[in-house]
Amino acid sequence: MSAKRVGARSRALSAEGSVSVEFAIVAPLIAVALGLVLALGGFAAQAVTVQTAAASTARQLSRGTPESLASSALARANFELKEVRHEQGLVCAHVSSRGRRARLGTSPGVFTLIPLTATGRACAAVDPV
């Protein structure tokens, strides 16, 4: 074998090896970024759910539903009624995830350790009786 062929062959093997190393470095970074995007999407969905629960609770309270009944309905859905305020013809409800920090994402894993709390506030006009 000539020296030219040996040199060309070793450069080709070196190029294949560098591509493998680059892939080994980039692939986990892409996987982590994709996981983070999915987890943040799950948390955003949870935040929307809590906000919807707050709006629904404020509407119920504005129509005369007792606070204890609204609170128990939220508890069944794993939410907590933090505060109710009556001001200038409005009833405002503050709702959060019940008794613990909200999980970031829907499945157990490293993202359950990030301390984010999903809360929602909403107000509704009091219905005249």
**For residue 85, what are the contacts with CB-CB under 8 A and spacing of at least 6?**
91, 92
> pLDDT band at residue 23, thresholds of 50, 70 and 90?
confident
List, for residues 52-78, the tens digit of each pLDDT value.
999 999 999 999 999 999 999 999 888
> pLDDT band at residue 7, thresholds of 50, 70 and 90?
low
Q: 9's torsion region: left (phi>0), alpha (psi -120 to 50) or beta?
A: alpha
Query: How many C-alpha atoms does 113 have within 13 Å on its Cβ side?
Result: 2
Q: Determine contact, residues 79/98, Cβ cutoff 8 Å.
A: yes
Region 29-42: what's the mean pLDDT? 86
- The identity of residue 54, as a single letter, is A
Region 79-88: what's the mean pLDDT? 93
Give domain limits for the chain: 3-125
pTM: 0.68
1 in helix, strand or coil?
Answer: coil
pLDDT surpasses 60 at 95:
yes
